[in-house]
Every structure is written in C-alpha cells, then in structure tokens.
Amino acid sequence: MSKLRDKIHRARKGRAEAKALKELHPELDVITPAVPRIKAREVAEDILRPVRRNDMKARRKKLRLSQSELATVFDVNVLSIYRHERDKVLPTLWDYALKGVEAEAANPDDRQILRAFRSGLDGPNVMVQGVEARGHRLVAVRMVGAMRDSVRADRLKKKVQRTERETGKAVVVDLPKPRPSSGSPS
C-alpha cells in the first residue's frame, strides 16, 4: 500500500473512531481529527510510481507465509523470493502476483475449504492437488502446512506417551499452536 493510501486510511479511521466515540458519549467534547493535506506531488508520485518501495517481506509476513511457502505458491526458487525481498524496488509483476495471493487469502470460500480440511485431518484427506488444480494454490500450500503441523503434533504426543511410560510420571508439554486459517487475525 502506498504512503498516500496509508495517510488517507489513517485519517478515515481516526475520523470514524471519533464519530463512534461521539455517538456513544454525546456529553463528551470529542475532537475530530483534521483531514490530512494531500499535495499534488504526492498524488502524482503515487500514480507515476505505484511500487516505489519494496514491502514484499511485510506483505508475506502479513499472509503468515514463509519464504519457501511463497516460493511454492509462485512456483519459483526460494532464492528468488529472498533476492526480491532485499531489492529496493519491487517489480510490478511481483507486486501483481502478491496482490493475487492477498486476494486469495481474503476469499471466504478459500478459508472455508481450509477450515473443512483442518477439521477433517483425522479422517480421510481431500486431495491437495485437486484443490491446487482448481486455482487455489495458496490454500493447497496451507493444507500441506496443516498436514505437517498435524504430523508434528502426533509425533510429539507419541514421544510424551513414551516418556511417561518409561518414567512412570506425567509429562507436561506445550503443543505447537495450529496456524490460523486466514491471512488476517479473526
């Protein structure tokens, strides 16, 4: 997101919060934040150079993806992800690809597919390749991650049970938390 959009978003959010506070407590004197001054130069720069700074790493982390998972989604080498994250300017093609992944992560249908998959991990599995073939590549990558997390948790449980049998004492272990099903916290 550009600096201009961030500026506008912050101003709208501040004004909405002030309005909500004023509605909740009409007896209070709530000061509504001023509308930000937007210079013509900022608008021109935003239009002429839409991808000025590289925010690929922050966007990847917001999606809760590792570099290798994003490389799988893009079908590129992990080193390409690393190299593009370190560049000063994000190429337009990579920006559009990230926008597509972000749109897929925000899609409620994809979240529902992933939730259904996670709830049925103990039962028969859905074919990950079939989901990927239908264009849900991010969901397929997250399904593989959920299967990996499930296997790790099972291994840890078995290790704890074995230790309890050998020592005759109860062992307390924090199990790894499952990954959230969407890119944004619910």
Distance CA 30, CA 21 (A): 7
Q: Give the pLDDT confidence of 87-134 residue by residue, as tens digits.
A: 888 887 888 888 888 888 888 877 777 777 777 665 555 566 566 656
Domain count, the chain: 3
- Shared-domain flag, residues 21 and 40: yes
- Shared-domain flag, residues 123 and 169: yes
Distance CA 150, CA 176 (A): 9
Is residue 123 a part of any domain in this protein? yes
Is residue 40 a part of any domain in this protein? yes
Is residue 57 a part of any domain in this protein? yes
- Shared-domain flag, residues 102 and 128: no
- Shared-domain flag, residues 113 and 129: yes
- Shared-domain flag, residues 121 and 171: yes
Is residue 81 a part of any domain in this protein? yes
- pTM, rounded to two decimals: 0.51
Q: Give the pLDDT confidence of 129-170 residue by residue, as tens digits.
A: 566 656 667 777 777 777 777 778 888 888 888 888 788 777
Q: Which domain holds residue 80?
A: 52-106
- Shared-domain flag, residues 116 and 56: no
Torsion angle in degrees (nearest 10) through CA of 139, 144, 146, 148: -170
106, 131, 150 — which closes off a domain?
A: 106
